[in-house]
């Protein structure tokens, strides 16, 4: 029986719609938003109406029009986002005399400063400004800015800054600018997409003891500050358990999403080993947390699903809402909703639904490196991993998967092969983007992943357990202090072993090779990967 185009579209619609929506956002960027919202709205409604009219008579044409309408919706959403985004300070304001740009303001810190050589950078929101220029006041009041402060002479002051700290500063406003190290990554666009309106260089600063009036600050920023306060308290619990130095930095990154304390040497070693993803809170870390929660919520019903989803999103907010974690949380939410209404749970459909939600909420996420790498990795795992067993000899596949009673050492080897298959699939899907943005590729990523993946299965739950035990110890006059110290010592020991092994792997000959490619070459590589995926899909059906 021939499968109609309608059946094909209905088999996996969300991923196709997500790709069409993303293509619309990309086209909107290429065309530089020449169309008005009214014309885009008319085109969008027109294509949808045509698709509905041709729904039953012309299935192929209806499917094409439906994808075009989703494409137009993507263009409309991106254009609307640009029109409604917080306005950056006009360029002519920076041409004012220097004394007019020196602004005395009260800032509320959104987190701890990060160190970059002799300068500390800080995310802050402008609570109030005393600038004599009314345009400057209206442009920055209640908005996020990126602040740079010289560390020399301000070390103690900077080390005391936490999320929610109020600062009285005199600062020189500057336009948002891109990084010089990586011209392929538009840093100024990244800042704009995260709500920053300008940057500032602080001349003088001191802690404000006045209660800041936060009425002009948006609720999203207030929520972010509250979440980071909770994260700071969780980090203090790790310190209370005796975790310091690199071990504290790794635990904070893997369990709390705070990478500011990781030294540049550790970053370079993990990157050269091909496991930099382990330091950034991602879907794998969230999966570990979900697995722990699944043990708690053994009985699965609508109530437990709601509690599970609520806890996961609370964790996502506290850890900073990185795009890879938001992607995993969206997929979990969709998966749980489909399970409760007893609908088919197609992984690619769930991935497409998560992409649609994220791009609809924030179209600029499409240009974020974390967004691109996260979705490429998951797509590669979903597409290539099921076919990786074809690389094995037929006799081994029959022994591993055909027999019911297999010895423990065979199960161990099969589990190791499973980790290798996932690592190869994710690396193949993300390698073109990594080469394009970072200009290098790791060679020993398989060996490194065989170490950090099992280690993460211990480090993430152990870090959360240590935080919990330490919090109880701090809250109830020292009770459980000894268990907290023991947990901290064990956690620090495992992290130190992981760091030493990554240092060893990164120091191997040709651990990281240069691979600088152009955007056209990236597209060509992905065309080859898509061709391979289609071939493997057809071949697997033949072999079955």
- pLDDT digits 0-9 by tens, 248-306: 999 999 999 888 888 888 999 999 888 888 888 888 888 888 888 887 777 667 788 88
- In the structure encoding, which two tokens stand for residue 300, read together? 């699965």
Q: What percent of the chain has pLDDT over 90?
A: 17
Considering the chain, what is the average pLDDT of its residues?
A: 82
CB atoms within 10 A of CB 408: 7
Mean pLDDT of 93-108: 65
pLDDT at position 334: 87
Q: Are 435 and 385 in contact (CB under 8 A)?
A: no
pLDDT at position 88: 53
Q: Is the pLDDT of residue 330 over 80?
A: yes
* Per-residue burial over 162-197, b = 16 or more CB atoms within 10 Å of its CB, e = otherwise: bbbbbbbbebebbebeeeeeeeebebeebbbbebbb
DSSP 8-class letter at 211: P
Predicted confidence band at 182 (pLDDT cuts at 50, 70, 90)?
low
Residues 6+ apart with CB under 8 A from 254: 278, 279, 281, 285, 456, 459, 460, 463
Phi, psi of 533 (to 5 degrees): -65, -45
Residues 6+ apart with CB under 8 A from 186: 178, 367
Beta strands in 54-182 (DSSP E): 102-109, 114-116, 119-129, 144-150, 166-174
Predicted confidence band at 9 (pLDDT cuts at 50, 70, 90)?
very low
pLDDT at position 486: 92
Give the distance from CA 361 to its chain's centroid: 15
- In the structure encoding, which two tokens stand for residue 46, read together? 């027109």
Mean pLDDT of 384-406: 75
Question: Strand, coil or helix: what is 111?
Answer: coil
Mean pLDDT of 19-29: 88
Q: How far apart are CA 93 and CA 198, in angstroms?
A: 11
Q: Is the pLDDT of residue 502 over 90?
A: yes
Task: HSE, CB side, 13 Å, CA atoms: give it for residue 49.
Answer: 6
Predicted confidence band at 12 (pLDDT cuts at 50, 70, 90)?
low
Task: Quote the Cα angle for 173-149-221, to 5°.
Answer: 70
Most confident of 213-217, 238-242, 393-397, 491-495: 491-495
Q: Is the pLDDT of residue 6 over 50?
A: no
Q: How far apart are CA 193 and CA 3, in angstroms?
A: 43
Q: Are 184 and 229 in contact (CB under 8 A)?
A: no
pLDDT at position 464: 92
For the whole model, what pTM was predicted?
Answer: 0.85
pLDDT at position 21: 92
Q: Is the pLDDT of residue 2 over 50?
A: no
pLDDT at position 432: 92
Partnered with residue 167 across adjacent β-strands are 107, 207
Mean pLDDT of 329-349: 81
Q: Is the pLDDT of residue 359 over 50?
A: yes
The answer to which of 72-76, 150-154, 230-234, 362-366 has the lowest mean pLDDT is 150-154
Predicted confidence band at 337 (pLDDT cuts at 50, 70, 90)?
confident
pLDDT at position 252: 92
The CA-atom distances, in angstroms, between 360 and each of 12, 24, 80, 283, 521 are 19, 11, 11, 20, 29
Q: How far apart are CA 466 and CA 486, in angstroms?
A: 9
Q: Is the pLDDT of residue 99 over 50?
A: no
pLDDT at position 65: 80
- In the structure encoding, which two tokens stand for residue 509, read together? 């000959």
Q: Is the pLDDT of residue 523 over 70?
A: yes
Q: How far apart are CA 243 and CA 247, in angstroms?
A: 6
Q: How far apart are CA 538 and CA 397, in angstroms?
A: 19
Q: What percent of the chain has pLDDT over 70?
A: 87
């Amino acid at each position: 029986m021939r499968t109609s185009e309608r059946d094909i579209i209905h088999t996996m619609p969300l991923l196709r719609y997500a790709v069409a929506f993303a293509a619309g956002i990309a086209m909107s960027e290429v065309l530089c938003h020449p169309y008005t919202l009214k014309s885009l709205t008319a085109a969008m409604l027109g294509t949808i109406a045509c698709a509905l009219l041709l729904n039953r008579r012309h299935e192929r044409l209806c499917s094409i029009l439906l994808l075009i309408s989703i494409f137009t919706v993507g263009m409309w959403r991106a254009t609307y986002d640009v029109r409604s985004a917080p306005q950056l300070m006009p360029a002519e304001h920076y041409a004012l005399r220097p004394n007019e740009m020196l602004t005395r303001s009260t800032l509320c810190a959104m987190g701890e400063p990060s160190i970059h050589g002799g300068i500390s950078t800080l995310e802050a929101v402008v609570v109030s400004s005393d600038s004599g220029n009314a345009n400057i006041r209206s442009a920055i009041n209640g908005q996020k800015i990126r602040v740079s402060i010289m560390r020399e002479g301000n070390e103690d002051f900077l080390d005391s800054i936490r999320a929610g700290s109020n600062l009285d500063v005199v600062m020189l406003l500057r336009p948002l600018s891109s990084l010089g190290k990586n011209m392929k990554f538009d840093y100024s666009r990244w800042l704009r997409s995260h709500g920053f309106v300008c940057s500032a260089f602080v001349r003088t600063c001191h802690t404000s003891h006045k209660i800041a009036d936060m009425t002009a600050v948006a609720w999203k920023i207030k929520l972010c500050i509250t979440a980071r306060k909770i994260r700071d308290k969780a980090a203090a619990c790790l310190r209370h358990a005796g975790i310091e130095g690199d071990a504290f930095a790794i635990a904070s990154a893997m369990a709390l999403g705070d990478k500011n304390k990781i030294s540049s040497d550790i970053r370079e070693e993990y990157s050269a080993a091909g496991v930099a993803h382990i330091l950034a809170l991602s879907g794998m870390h969230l999966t570990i947390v979900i697995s722990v929660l699944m043990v708690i919520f053994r009985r699965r019903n609508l109530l437990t699903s709601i509690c599970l989803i609520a806890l996961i999103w609370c964790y996502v907010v506290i850890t900073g809402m990185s795009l890879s974690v938001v992607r995993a949380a969206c997929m979990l939410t969709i998966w749980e909703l489909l399970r409760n209404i007893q609908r088919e749970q197609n992984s690619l459909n769930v991935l497409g639904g998560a992409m649609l939600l994220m791009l609809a909420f924030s179209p600029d996420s499409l240009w974020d490196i974390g967004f691109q790498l996260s979705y490429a990795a998951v797509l590669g795992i979903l597409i290539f991993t099921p076919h990786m067993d074809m690389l094995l000899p037929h006799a081994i596949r029959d022994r591993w998967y055909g027999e019911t009673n297999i010895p423990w050492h065979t199960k161990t080897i099969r589990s190791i092969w499973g980790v290798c298959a996932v690592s190869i699939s994710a690396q193949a899907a993300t390698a073109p983007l990594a080469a394009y943005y970072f200009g290098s590729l790791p060679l020993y990523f398989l060996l490194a992943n065989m170490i950090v993946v099992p280690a993460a299965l211990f480090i993430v739950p152990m870090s959360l357990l240590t935080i919990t035990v330490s919090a109880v110890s701090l809250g109830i006059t020292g009770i459980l202090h000894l268990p907290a110290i023991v947990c901290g010592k064990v956690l620090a020991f495992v992290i130190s072993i992981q760091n030493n092994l990554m240092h060893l792997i990164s120091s191997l000959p040709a651990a990281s090779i240069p691979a600088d490619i152009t955007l056209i070459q990236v597209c060509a590589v992905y065309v080859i990967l898509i061709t391979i995926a289609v071939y493997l899909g057809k071949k697997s059906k033949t072999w079955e």
